Amino acid sequence: MGDEVVLLGDVTPSLAELIEAGPERWLAIREGTAAQPRVPLADCQPLLPVAPRDYVDFYASLEHATNVGRLFRPDQPLEPNWRHLPVAYHGRAASVIVSGSAVARPSGQLGQGRFGATQALDFECELGFVCGPSTDLGEPVPVESARERIFGVVLLNDWSARDIQAWEYRPLGPFLGKSFATSISPWIVPLDLLPAAGARAQDPAPLPYLQDPNPTALDLNIEVAINGEVVTRTNAQNLYWTLPQMLAHATVNGAPLGAGDLFGTGTISGPERGSEGCMLELFGGERWLADGDEVVLSCPELGDCRGRVG
């Protein structure tokens, strides 16, 4: 993150149109920014960088899935399908908000015959990846070319109302417990500029459409603070499924891709104590977010993603 911003208004009408133009145009814009006007970063107001037409959130961390599963299914923490496909759900694209936006405490059903404001508000430390150009209905994105369609990466906080989620998610998955707010950082950092690491071994080997010929992870250290107190530190290379695998799976049935579509990795947790990516794992249901609490996700390469409970 630098101290100045390059103005691209004379080069491209909008970020969505740039994403639609494809990788060659992305590179040309990056290489041509030296002569473009600049303004101090401090003079800029963070805005939502792109309005996604669609938003999907994955569940791609082995440790997170195991930790959460152990709380509810001690005898079988991982569902039988988990190591065979990147599990995901569709979120509400309209509730994606920029870092710094206030987050209202949501209400919903808390159990049988009970309605009210959530008493179990949580954060989820994730990456988001923004994709394009668009594809047509019935045009899957093969895993071997999926990396070329990943425009860039943001920090993402998938705010979660755990009590609402626990009551509603069976049999169709998260709904009101997740759809009230998803915060992202204001700067989309190109994938090629981020440090890579070797991807985790996958056992069993995935089906052919998920066999990534160049499996790599992102070596990004992320920490989360609540009211200035660091509660967890993790790294994106802990993810079990790769970004290309997630994108390939999301489109293998022919679902179209839109320029600027947003995909979340799911909570990123590591194997060490203190690397869990949400309060449910960190505190086992003994601590949740209070009104006025500010949550800040930080990464040297991606900046901050912050939000205060309103």
DSSP string over 119-157: S-EE-BEEEEEEE-S---TT----HHHHGGGEEEEEEEE
Largest CA distance in the chain: 63
Structure tokens at 198: 């070797």
Give the burial class of 236: count Cβ atoms within 10 A of its Cβ; 0-12 exposed, 13-18 middle, 19 or more buried.
buried
Q: For strand 38-40 and strand 125-131, is the pairing parallel, antiparallel, or unpaired?
A: unpaired
To 10 degrees, the CA torsion angle through 166, 170, 175, 176?
A: -40
Contact partners, residue 257, CB within 8 Å, separation at least 6: 131, 132, 133, 134, 135, 141, 149, 247, 250, 251
**Dihedral sign for Cα atoms in the order 179, 180, 184, 186:** positive
Q: Are the C-beta atoms of 23 and 31 separated by less than 8 Å?
A: no
Q: Are the C-beta atoms of 158 and 179 separated by less than 8 Å?
A: no
User: What is the C-alpha to C-alpha distance for residues 51 and 95, in angstroms, rounded to an integer?
Assistant: 10
> 3-state DSSP call for residue 238?
helix
Tell me which amino acid residue 181 is.
A
Give the burial class of 218: count Cβ atoms within 10 A of its Cβ; 0-12 exposed, 13-18 middle, 19 or more buried.
buried
Active centre residues (catalytic): 64
